[in-house]
Structure 1
Amino acid sequence: MAKPLVTCLWFDGQAEAAANYYCTVFKDSKITQVTPMVVTFELNGNKFMGLNGGPQFKFDEAISLMVNCDSQEEIDYYWDTLSKDGGEESVCGWLKDKFGLSWQIVPANLGELMAEPERAQRVMDKVMQMKKIDKAALENA
């Protein structure tokens, strides 16, 4: 039987602080183990390991975590929470949190909105003009 995948996130000595922070952002979350080298935790049923690996590697936009949101209120909550305290807003629903990890905060129905080629272009035109996603504007595109 195949084992579930676990995402390993490399931190420069901040793994426990990051895990604690993420567990406050995502309500269905918990820390499952803390050692000096690693912290294991779950966010909305997804397993992660935070590694205190040192300064050699940094996060970049080549990988991001996507949060599919059902409402504008959810989009606002995750966007505002993850981008504060040293985070950075980007474009098209992307941001970096205070630990440098990239996130995509998007409507859960984005794939549906992009299903028809003609509508997909209108939706993408709107997305390209946004930082934080306006769900209603995409649905009306």
Structure 2
Amino acid sequence: MGNIQKITPNFWFDNQAEEAAQFYTSIFDDSEIVKVSRYLNEGQEIHGQSEGAVMTVDFKLNGQKFVALNGGPQFKFNEAISFIVHCATQEEVDYYWDKLSEGGDESAQQCGWLKDKFGVSWQIIPDILPELLSSSDRDKSEKVMKEMLQMKKIDINLLKEVDQA
């Protein structure tokens, strides 16, 4: 048996687990749907799902393992948990922002955060941001923070301009 990832994030969906896994794996490199498990007749009085319906989808995003579960409508995603996507360039920021925000909640977009069409929160963060926010020059850091707080999608060039001013 190969190495088992110690911690695997699990998404609880009403009934969109397979659709979400397909959506996410279409966005990230080194990604794939690994396995789809289906509900059986056993336990139907507890799970309430029809036999053969998708129960779980094991998938990978950039090599990281995830599970998506069709568990019913009892629980909804909220911003208390989010996934950070580290980006080296503005092109990466633009790519992940555009793809993940497609069909999502535009009112939930602020400071690099977005909510996708399934209600999952993501942070699209340029690698340079922590450096700009923790400059030894406190005034520069505060100017960068002030500018960032006004953004939805992070604009690296604009933050660098503020930092250089």
TM norm. shorter chain > 0.5:
yes
- 2:115 is the alignment partner of 1:96: yes
Shift in Å, 1:26:
0.5
Could you tell me which amino acid in structure 1 is paired with residue 15 of structure 2?
A: G
How far apart, CA to CA, are the structure 2 residues paired with 1:15 and 1:83?
18
Shift in Å, 1:111:
1.7
Shift in Å, 1:2:
8.8
**Does the aligned pair in 1 maintain the 2:82–2:121 contact within 8 Å?**
yes
Q: 1:35 is paired with a residue of what secondary structure?
A: strand
**Does the aligned pair in 1 maintain the 2:116–2:122 contact within 8 Å?**
yes
How far apart, CA to CA, are the structure 1 residues paired with 2:65 and 2:124?
19
2:42 is aligned to: none
Mind listing any 5+ residue stretches in structure 2 that lack a counterpart? 39-54
**Does the aligned pair in 1 maintain the 2:5–2:65 contact within 8 Å?**
no
How far apart, CA to CA, are the structure 2 residues paired with 1:2 and 1:42?
13
RMSD over aligned Cα atoms: 1.6
1:77 is aligned to: 95
Q: 1:49 is paired with a residue of what secondary structure?
A: strand
Mind listing any 5+ residue stretches in structure 1 that lack a counterpart? none
Could you tell me which amino acid in structure 2 is paired with residue 129 of structure 1?
A: Q
Q: 1:120 is matched with which residue: 130, 138, 141?
A: 141
Q: 2:21 is matched with which residue: 19, 22, 32?
A: 19
**Does the aligned pair in 1 maintain the 2:9–2:67 contact within 8 Å?**
yes
Distance 1:95 1:5, change over 3 A: same
Q: TM-score, normalised by structure 2?
A: 0.79
Q: TM-score, normalised by structure 1?
A: 0.92
How far apart, CA to CA, are the structure 1 residues paired with 2:149 and 2:26?
30
- 2:19 is the alignment partner of 1:33: no
Deviations 1:15-39 (A, max 9, x none): 1110011000102101111112111
What is the total number of aligned residue pairs between the two structures?
A: 140
Provide the identity percentage. 54
- 2:57 is the alignment partner of 1:57: no
Whose radius of gyration is greater, 1 or 2?
2
